[in-house]
Chain A
Amino acid sequence: MKPSRKAKKYAEALLTVSKELDCIPRTGKSLRVIDQLVKQEKVFRAFFYTQRINPIEKVSILKTVLGDLINSLIYEFFGLLAERNEYQMLMSVVTVYAKLEKESLNQINVTAYSIEEIDQNTISSIVKGIERSTGKRVELSSQTDRELLGGLKLRIGNTIFDGTIANQMAKIKKVLLQNY
């Protein structure tokens, strides 16, 4: 089985069990904590990926260090990964789980790009508008980009709604180049 397909299977299984135990957000949060620690803490990363420590001991050390910060389900999952020597797959599982979690909670991530910070009123009206048209809960984050020249660009998943002046200028350039 391809690694990506395996990660998807693991993430789906985690989601199903979390659903039964009614702890979908907690599982997601636990995975994000591990993800953050692996990415940011050199020592933790070395400990996490080493094969010199016995898998059962590794899980028990993790339990002692992280305690209740992590869902008990995740400790069991670590045990499974350690047994199969598939720790490397964890990062892919985290990414896929985050996607599945959003789907199951009927949530979408939206990023808004503008030339300067968007005020709260505008943000809430954008959120309301998108929630109305998609019927999903929106988590909006905003970013500034001076190159847009004006207007607004929204990215919802893999779809971009571009109403910026930079885009209009690019179109004008294309039309002019086509004619000359």
Chain B
Amino acid sequence: MEIKTEEIRSLLLKQIEKFDVEIDVSDVGEVLEVGDGVARVSGLENVMSAELVELPNDVFGMALNLEEDNVGVVLFGETRLVREGDIVKRTGKVVEVGVGPEMLGRVVNPLGYAVDGKGTIKTKNTLQIERKALGVMQRQPVVEPLQTGLKAIDSMIPIGRGQRELIIGDRQTGKTAIALDTIINQKYTHETDSPVYCIYVAIGQKASTVARVVAELEAAGAMEYTTIVAANASDPAPMQYIAPYAGAAIGEHYRDNGKHALVIYDDLSKHAVAYRQLSLILRRPPGREAYPGDVFYLHSRLLERSSKLSDDLGGGSLTALPIIETQEGDVAAYIPTNVISITDGQIYLESNLFNSGQRPAVDVGISVSRVGGNAQVKAMKSIAGMLRLDLAQYRELEAFAKFGSDLDKATQDQLTKGRIMMEIIKQKQYTPLSVEKQIAIIFIGTEGLLNDLLADKVADFEVGFLNYINENNSNLLKEIKDTGKLSDDVKAGLKKATEDFIKIFTV
């Protein structure tokens, strides 16, 4: 970092010139007791709810409990630096975070301060982290797709811009992988006129995990349009509590300026745990599973901020992909049911599918998207129905598969097609596919053109086939991309290309 002595000199002179005219007036209070990240402060009579307060040693806090004779302040810094009798100053500001393009490519803490060692972030704008969600009249239905680049999701659980789609599953089932693939897939949007900016909020995760995420996004060239808000496991609970709200505020800046943003909350289970810790220390009464009574509102007010704005307001959008980690597949626990009911659908990841090699391990039977269908590309919509049907029939017949040749031909064909379709929706991590390529491969699968292939050859076939049509029939892909439809000519072209490529592939 280069230090400009001339600039420092002028700053010093400016401060000295102002010296005798400025007297700071501040409302103060005194710390009565402190512990576990919460301080009780007397005084601070006019403090606002969620106001930022300043304590000695550069520790900041947020006033949460405004009681008759004291204020409960949650601390964003180290508790051990705060002592009984310390003076607490009001700042007059509700907690804010810096927003804007300056935040792109950076890793910040929930207060907006850089933690990536790349220097201070000077943003032109700030937004309050707690903002009221927009009303009905300021919104419009979800109409544009947000492509994840994953065949299983874009075909059967489509996500629209402005939607809230929950990613739910046990530990180690690939929840974060789906989120990261979605971020990586937004790269193509930056070559169009409606780019999607991404915010990844890491709540209560290991610092090493966050570092890995940063490295992976950097390697994929996705950090250029991404901001990471990190409240690690070692950070105090108040930091973890405000992290998703800070992420939402950063995303809202894009939305309010007619742009599109995607925010990932990884994960809200840990967020609820951090809030439970805070609430119990603040002596709020515990309820079910010891969570406080307002834990539903905690998540509903956060997720309600995701929206598709009306055209009058610029038509921007904020899409949210909250993540919930379940314990032993228990989706009926308190926090999972809350978030399921708040969101517009869920992508359910199954441990058994994951262990059997299905990646992404999406259980398409119980995963849904309530609003994304309206935003889905028409061509995809026309083939997704057949895909869903094939997979549903396959699941029903799967139990009979062990009888093998004893089954009638129709059942055997159905099982073969189902097996092929299950292979088609498999996808490696960090290899998102464009929507036209997804349509092409799913179309030939649903048409039964791959039924003669062995299931374990499907992945190789897919790679080869997509390269083949890219080189020899790129006009087909282009037409799907431009029109968003599967015309009869395109269908015929795809069938022909498949037949040609199968001859080459099987030799």
Are A161 and B25 neighbours in the complex by a CB distance under 8 Å?
A: yes
Contacts of A176 in B (CB 8 A): 8, 11
Q: Does B7 contact A (CB under 8 A)?
A: yes
Q: How far is the CB of B181 from chain A (nearest CB, A)?
A: 37
Contacts of B26 in A (CB 8 A): 159-160, 162
Q: Does A5 contact B (CB under 8 A)?
A: yes
The B71-109 residues at the A interface (CB cut-off 8 A) are: 87, 89
**Chain A 159-180 per-residue mask, 1 if CB under 8 angstroms from chain B, else 0:** 1111100011001100111111
Main secondary structure of the interface of B (DSSP, over half): mixed
Are A5 and B68 neighbours in the complex by a CB distance under 8 Å?
A: yes
Among B1, B15, B119, the residue within 8 A (CB) of A171 is B15
Q: How far is the CB of B348 from chain A (nearest CB, A)?
A: 46
Q: Does A60 contact B (CB under 8 A)?
A: no
Q: Does A158 contact B (CB under 8 A)?
A: yes
Question: Which of the 9-residue segments B16-24, B444-452, B453-461 touches chain A?
Answer: B16-24
Are A168 and B3 neighbours in the complex by a CB distance under 8 Å?
A: no
Are B27 and A159 neighbours in the complex by a CB distance under 8 Å?
A: yes
Question: A177 vs B43: C-alpha distance in the bound complex, in angstroms?
Answer: 30
Q: Does B463 contact A (CB under 8 A)?
A: no
Are A160 and B25 neighbours in the complex by a CB distance under 8 Å?
A: yes
Contacts of B289 in A (CB 8 A): none
Contacts of B22 in A (CB 8 A): 163, 168
Are B25 and A158 neighbours in the complex by a CB distance under 8 Å?
A: no
Question: A54 vs B166: C-alpha distance in the bound complex, in angstroms?
Answer: 67
Q: Does B28 contact A (CB under 8 A)?
A: yes
Q: Does A2 contact B (CB under 8 A)?
A: yes
Question: A113 vs B221: C-alpha distance in the bound complex, in angstroms?
Answer: 56
Among B1, B7, B12, B28, the residue within 8 A (CB) of A160 is B28
Q: Does A88 contact B (CB under 8 A)?
A: no
Contacts of B69 in A (CB 8 A): 4
Q: How far is the CB of A86 from chain B (nearest CB, A)?
A: 18
Question: A118 vs B107: C-alpha distance in the bound complex, in angstroms?
Answer: 50
Are A158 and B24 neighbours in the complex by a CB distance under 8 Å?
A: no
Question: A2 vs B19: C-alpha distance in the bound complex, in angstroms?
Answer: 47
Are A159 and B28 neighbours in the complex by a CB distance under 8 Å?
A: yes
CB contact under 8 A between A172 and B27, given known A179-B7, A180-B120 = no
**Chain A 1-44 per-residue mask, 1 if CB under 8 angstroms from chain B, else 0:** 01011000000000000000000000000000000000000000
Are A158 and B15 neighbours in the complex by a CB distance under 8 Å?
A: no
Are B23 and A178 neighbours in the complex by a CB distance under 8 Å?
A: no
Are B120 and A161 neighbours in the complex by a CB distance under 8 Å?
A: no
Question: A155 vs B19: C-alpha distance in the bound complex, in angstroms?
Answer: 20
Contacts of B87 in A (CB 8 A): 160
Question: A160 vs B22: C-alpha distance in the bound complex, in angstroms?
Answer: 13
Question: A175 vs B14: C-alpha distance in the bound complex, in angstroms?
Answer: 11
Q: How far is the CB of B114 from chain A (nearest CB, A)?
A: 12
Q: Closest chain A residue to B14 by CB distance?
A: A175
Q: Does B45 contact A (CB under 8 A)?
A: yes
CB contact under 8 A between A158 and B27, given known A2-B68, A4-B69, A178-B120 = yes
Q: How far is the CB of B5 from chain A (nearest CB, A)?
A: 11
Q: Does B418 contact A (CB under 8 A)?
A: no
Q: Does B156 contact A (CB under 8 A)?
A: no
The B8-58 residues at the A interface (CB cut-off 8 A) are: 8, 11-12, 15, 19, 22-29, 43-45
Question: A13 vs B119: C-alpha distance in the bound complex, in angstroms?
Answer: 60
Q: How far is the CB of A166 from chain B (nearest CB, A)?
A: 11
Question: A19 vs B484: C-alpha distance in the bound complex, in angstroms?
Answer: 86
CB contact under 8 A between A180 and B15, given known A158-B45, A162-B26 = no
Q: Closest chain A residue to B7 by CB distance?
A: A179
Are B23 and A162 neighbours in the complex by a CB distance under 8 Å?
A: yes
Are B44 and A175 neighbours in the complex by a CB distance under 8 Å?
A: no
Are B28 and A4 neighbours in the complex by a CB distance under 8 Å?
A: no
Are A162 and B24 neighbours in the complex by a CB distance under 8 Å?
A: yes
Contacts of B15 in A (CB 8 A): 168, 171-172, 175
Q: Closest chain B residue to A159 by CB distance?
A: B27
Are A158 and B68 neighbours in the complex by a CB distance under 8 Å?
A: no
Question: A105 vs B25: C-alpha distance in the bound complex, in angstroms?
Answer: 26
Contacts of A180 in B (CB 8 A): 1, 3, 119-120
Q: How far is the CB of A167 from chain B (nearest CB, A)?
A: 6
Q: How far is the CB of B375 from chain A (nearest CB, A)?
A: 42
Question: A162 vs B27: C-alpha distance in the bound complex, in angstroms?
Answer: 11
Q: How far is the CB of A171 from chain B (nearest CB, A)?
A: 7
Q: How far is the CB of B1 from chain A (nearest CB, A)?
A: 7
6 contacts between A and B (CB under 8 A): A155-B28, A161-B24, A162-B24, A163-B23, A168-B19, A172-B11
Chain A to chain B: the 5 pairs with minimum beta-carbon distance, closest first: A158-B43, A162-B24, A163-B23, A172-B15, A4-B69
Instruction: Name 18 extra pairs, CB < 8 A, besides A5-B68, A158-B29, A175-B15.
Output: A4-B68, A155-B28, A158-B44, A159-B28, A160-B25, A160-B28, A161-B23, A161-B25, A162-B25, A168-B19, A171-B15, A175-B11, A176-B8, A176-B11, A178-B120, A179-B11, A179-B120, A180-B120
